[in-house]
Structure 1
């Protein structure tokens, strides 16, 4: 099943986990959209620097530390994703409580591990 995924905190730097994740998601056949601080392209995917009104987002995978997530709370909730993945280092009890209030499923996991073990 293709799961349209927003990589929030995408980086152009090839050594960053968000960059790895974009490429692995593409390789696994998922549709990918990405938001980051710098415009560019990773694996043929444009990184948006403006928050876009993406439609039918299944998963938001976070690559922002908790202190950088707060400005995105309302945006992520408005996308009505089916799942949020808090990758290692992004765990955020405040945001998780807000997601619970909006009945949005979340998990603390690693997107790369989920993909490599066919659990994505």
Structure 2
């Protein structure tokens, strides 16, 4: 798999934006892996409960509030993604600085909007 998107904060709840994002990414035939608090599947994508050493992560799509992100700083940096998208409500200047120090792009944007206008 190349150019994989990792959705962190994934949920099987169809009303959650992470769930909608997984569905839209899958609909566009993008490679997706997901990490959440509970196992499950969304559009055939398995939600993992454990931080795995995923390969070829291009984009990390965050759906965690800034306080919960702290436990993921080193993990996300270790995956060496090209970029991290901070979706609405996940903005975190401390983490943005850490990403910059590790040459990882950060984008404060809504993944659903980016997907809808083909700017993902």
The two structures share one fold, judged by TM-score above 0.5: yes
Give 1:28 deviation, angstroms.
Answer: 1.0
Contact 2:3 2:56 in 1 (8 A): no
Corresponding residue number in structure 1 for 2:10: 10
| TM-score using structure 2 length | 0.97
Runs of 5+ consecutive residues of structure 2 not aligned to the other structure: none
Q: Distance in 2 between matches of 1:40 and 1:64?
A: 18
Structure 2 match to 1:38:
38
Distance in 2 between residues matched to 1:47 and 1:89, nearest whole Å: 21
SS in 2 for 1:77: helix
Q: TM-score, normalised by structure 1?
A: 0.97
SS at match of 2:57: coil
Aligned to 1:60: 60
Q: Which runs of 4+ in 1 moved over 3 A?
A: none
Q: Structure 1 regions of 5+ residues with no counterpart? A: none
SS at match of 1:34: strand
**Aligned mates of 1:63, 1:118 — CA distance in 2:** 20
